[in-house]
């Protein structure tokens, strides 16, 4: 059996409960993929986006309705080694990728303040433009359950607000485009287990300035801090990440001091005497 078929079988069989069923649940519960959608699946070269691509391929084969998917890699200026690594992994996994170039790394190289933030914003713009060019109505990213929890804690501890990474978003600047996160319910430990089971190796960060980025206070080290904190909390309460997630789906507005809706600030005092 060819390796990619073994990998596909592992998603459907061995990791069905921890990966594919949770992927399908997120797609269904949050209405992420619908009939006749045309989705641009963004592949960065890491484990998450490659798994996302395979799950979407499986959903195309075994799902209840038709939709189209384009598998796209944006090259912001990778060195040749990393680019070749992504191409080789795509071949191993039988994913028909299209690569397009951008000059993001060359631009970011000249920036001293928050280069990673600028890089992320520029990447998003290039991806939205590519999706429009391809005639897609949705862009799929590989963020997973742990990303959601870490983002929530970052917002609380360093942003002084309660908000999280949403399973889907309408684009503010590109009408008719949605961003979706189909791995929303899949835990990172299960993605790592899938990778290791299939003896796969992916790039972690293909940024030319990885060493420099780790020294910049741009949120990168803070996210790692949240990841380590959650690991410690799990030792005390194994369900702590699940409870954080459910709390965001169970907000009691009668017991919060205030909230923001569409940029309007509301206080509990607004209706206190009513």
Q: Does domain 3-147+156-216 have CATH number 3.40.50.620?
A: yes
Residue 56 confidence (pLDDT): 98
- What residue spans define the domains of the chain? 3-147+156-216
Integer-rounded Cα radius of gyration of the chain: 20
pLDDT of residue 112: 61
Is the model's pTM score more than 0.95?
no
CB-based contacts of 125, cutoff 8 Å, min separation 6: none
Nearest 5°: CA angle at 218, between 213 and 224?
Answer: 80
Which parts of the chain sit beneath pLDDT 70?
A: 1, 105-118, 205-220
Residue 166: the pLDDT is 96
pLDDT for the residue numbered 122: 76
CA distance 240 to 234: 6
Rounded CA gap, 163 and 248, in Å? 8
| pLDDT given at position 214 | 36
Amino acid 217: pLDDT: 39
């Amino acid at each position: 059996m060819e390796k990619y078929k073994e990998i596909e079988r592992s998603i459907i069989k061995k990791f069905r409960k921890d990966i594919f069923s949770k992927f399908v649940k997120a797609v269904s519960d949050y209405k992420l993929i619908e009939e006749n959608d045309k989705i641009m699946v963004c592949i960065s070269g890491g484990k998450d986006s490659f798994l996302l691509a395979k799950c979407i391929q499986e959903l195309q084969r075994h799902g209840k309705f038709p939709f189209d998917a384009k598998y796209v890699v944006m090259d912001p200026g990778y060195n040749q080694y990393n680019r070749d690594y992504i191409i080789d992994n795509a071949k191993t996994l039988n994913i028909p990728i299209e690569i397009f170039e951008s000059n993001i790394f060359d631009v970011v190289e000249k920036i001293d303040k928050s280069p990673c933030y600028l890089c992320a914003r520029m990447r998003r713009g290039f991806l939205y433009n590519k999706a429009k060019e391809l005639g897609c109505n949705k862009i799929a990213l590989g963020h997973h359950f742990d990303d959601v929890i870490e983002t929530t804690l970052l917002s609380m501890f360093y942003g002084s607000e309660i908000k999280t990474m949403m399973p889907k978003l309408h684009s503010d600047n590109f009408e008719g485009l949605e961003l979706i996160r189909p791995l929303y319910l899949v835990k990172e430990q299960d993605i790592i287990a899938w990778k290791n089971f299939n003896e796969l190796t992916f790039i972690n960060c293909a940024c030319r300035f990885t060493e420099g980025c780790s020294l910049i206070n741009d949120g990168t080290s803070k996210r790692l801090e949240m990841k380590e904190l959650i690991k410690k909390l799990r030792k005390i309460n194994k369900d702590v990440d699940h409870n954080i997630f459910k709390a965001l789906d169970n907000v009691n507005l009668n017991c919060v001091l205030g909230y923001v809706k569409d940029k309007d600030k509301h206080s509990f005092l607004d209706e206190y005497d009513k």
